[in-house]
Structure 1
Amino acid sequence: MKTGLLHVAEDRGGDARLDAAVQLARAFDLHLTGAQAAPLSAYAMADPFGGVYPSVKLFTEHEKRQDATRAAVEARLRDEGVAFDWLRGVGSPATVLLDQSRLSDVIILSHLESDEGGWDAELDLVGDVRSPFACSDPLGAL
């Protein structure tokens, strides 16, 4: 293995994913790519008549949160001596991760429980990212 794709998000599983990514990077000398997703719903507001409008305020707030998360993750990876780069995609986390997964040997992600809530809740991220061509072993998705 040479490359790892790390799902970076502001959720309960973020620290565990980062710890696992650092351990994998050390064990296999992986180059990590931190991947952040910006779902379009993070920037949109709806009106009672069914209209959806982009919100500059929501966009700015979301970008600030993502920048802070990125800075913290990059600082940890630098401190750990792990080689990394970064990407930020627009769309659901599953879409962004799938788009990049073909270039990675391993994907580090976690299942978010149903009580996670919020606009960015991805209840079946692991299932959505798992390729139909992956091995049939259930541990192959870990």
Structure 2
Amino acid sequence: MPTRSFAVITQYQNRNISLPKRHTKDSAGYDLASAEMVTLNPGEIHLVPTGLKVYMPPGEVLLVIIRSSWAVKKRCVLANQVGVIDRDYVDNPDNEGHIFIPIENRGPEPVIIKAGERIAQGIFVKFGVTDNDISDADRQGGFGSTTQ
């Protein structure tokens, strides 16, 4: 397995999911699209499936950020402001590391998200740890499992 790559999760293998890509050579983010059509009513938050998981090397995280056009044109935001996909989220037994995007509709009208529509971007970021770091536990689940 390459040290940094996106892959389609098993349940979406036959749904024609496109792997994320950067659209220009200087883009930082990989565009993430919805794997399914979703209707988002005003005030509603929905976990939008991407059908994807991500592999990355130690010391990296994937940050998920809403595309600016969604905030401006559709009045939608990420419910958690910035998504953090940890390296050990991939291949967990709960959901195979499925990346979901929590979108909130802050506008007055329903928003329809089409399958294949780009809604967020993922940016790989290196991070550091303190000299006295003692985190040695293993992930025990999928989305939202590290809430302790």
TM-score by length of 1: 0.26
Question: Per residue, is there more helix in 1 or in 2?
Answer: 1
TM, length-normalised to structure 2:
0.25
